Amino acid sequence: MKKEIQTAPPYWETRFPAEWERQSGVQLTWPHAGTDWSHMLEEVEACFVNIAREIARRERLLIVTPHPESVEKRIAGEVDLRRVSFLKCPTNDTWARDHGAITLLSGEHALLLDFKFNGWGLKFPSDKDNLVSRRCVEAAGLQGAYLNRQGFVLEGGSIESDGQGTLLTTSECLLSPNRNGQMSRQEIEDYLCRELHARRILWLDHGYLAGDDTDSHIDTLARFCPADTLAYVACSDPTDEHHEALQRMKAQLETFVTLQGKPYRLLPLPLPAPIREEGERLPATYANFLIINGAVLFPTYRQPHNDEQARRQLQLAFPDREVVGFDCTPLIKQHGSLHCVTMQYPTGVIPGPQP
């Protein structure tokens, strides 16, 4: 009898889902007095409460904090606690996007990839945050197959997935010498395609935001949206310091095509008017939005005209979702925004009853 040959499944059966696919919940790593937020803790906690409230209206929320009892007391009456889980865990800071697990789907199974977080290229302490994903899995706060990938530095804010095998990133960040400087661009591309089951990588070589600590994370500049759409930060003011770099970024985006060879639909997002702290321009961006079940949450910056323009553009990108904005000016004072402080997880990863 002839032996049947078993062939491996196509590599794209394991995939990196797009953010707009169905989610089980979102992780928030809560600010506390031992973080850089200590001098403005009340102000930033009010912002975190707004984020928590909107997420818990639609899906589960996992709050990582060294002080779960005090956080629960803080949000009681403002956030639906029936949809909130707490994980007691020491933390350096609050940037869940960059220390959270990156989730792949293999059929109905979740693979939780735990890459090394080194404080955006050794800029800030990260020893506690680098252990958060492992501790979440060990405590069953996250469910799935845990894959240790601590030999490679990678932050969630540095990559975008369309769910079909295309990754979008920036060469400024991924080629930073203090991340994986021992590897060439081709070696990094080969590694990411293998580990994240990508079919290709689109590299943005232009674009930056003043005051950005991340070396140009993609989630501050350009984002995948449904229907082959790319939302990106645009600057039409030739006197602005970002004008030339963002114009070059736009020109490069115009050369990108889908896997089917068609140009992307490009939707410009306004560049916020300068926000400064002690004379330094802060990296405010409307590209730092979060997609959740049934809604898109986006940051506003107390700039009514620009805030509304951003809302309208995001509504074009997500016509079937509610687009909700709220003030994230407190977050930008520590050089991040809404997407930076959150990490979404696909269905089945965060346990507990769903809305």
- Please identify, in words, the CATH class of the domain defined by 13-346: alpha beta
Handedness of CA 231, 232, 233, 239 (dihedral sign): negative
| Cα 290 to Cα 3, 184, 263, distances in angstroms | 50, 31, 24
Crossing angle of the two packed helices 41-56 and 68-75, in degrees rounded to 10: 70
User: Which of 108-131 are b and which e, b meaning 16 or more Cβ less than 10 Å from the residue's Cβ?
Assistant: eebbbbbbbbbbbbeeeebebbbb
Per-residue pLDDT of the chain (355 residues; tens, 9 = 90+): 333 344 444 555 899 999 999 999 999 999 999 999 999 999 999 999 999 999 999 999 999 999 999 999 999 999 999 999 999 999 999 999 999 999 999 988 999 999 999 999 999 999 999 999 999 999 999 999 999 999 999 999 999 999 999 999 999 999 999 999 999 999 999 999 999 999 999 999 999 999 999 999 999 999 999 999 999 999 999 999 999 999 999 999 999 999 999 999 999 999 999 999 999 999 999 999 999 999 999 999 999 999 999 999 999 999 999 999 999 999 999 999 999 999 999 999 999 988 7
Give the burial class of 304: count Cβ atoms within 10 A of its Cβ; 0-12 exposed, 13-18 middle, 19 or more buried: exposed
| Nearest one of 89, 111, 93, 94 to 102, comparing CA atoms | 111
Is 0.85 topped by the overall pTM? Answer: yes
Residue 215, strand partner residues:
none
The kind and range of the H/E element at 73 are helix 68-75
Using DSSP bridges, classify how beta strands 222-225 and 229-234 pair: parallel, antiparallel or unpaired: antiparallel
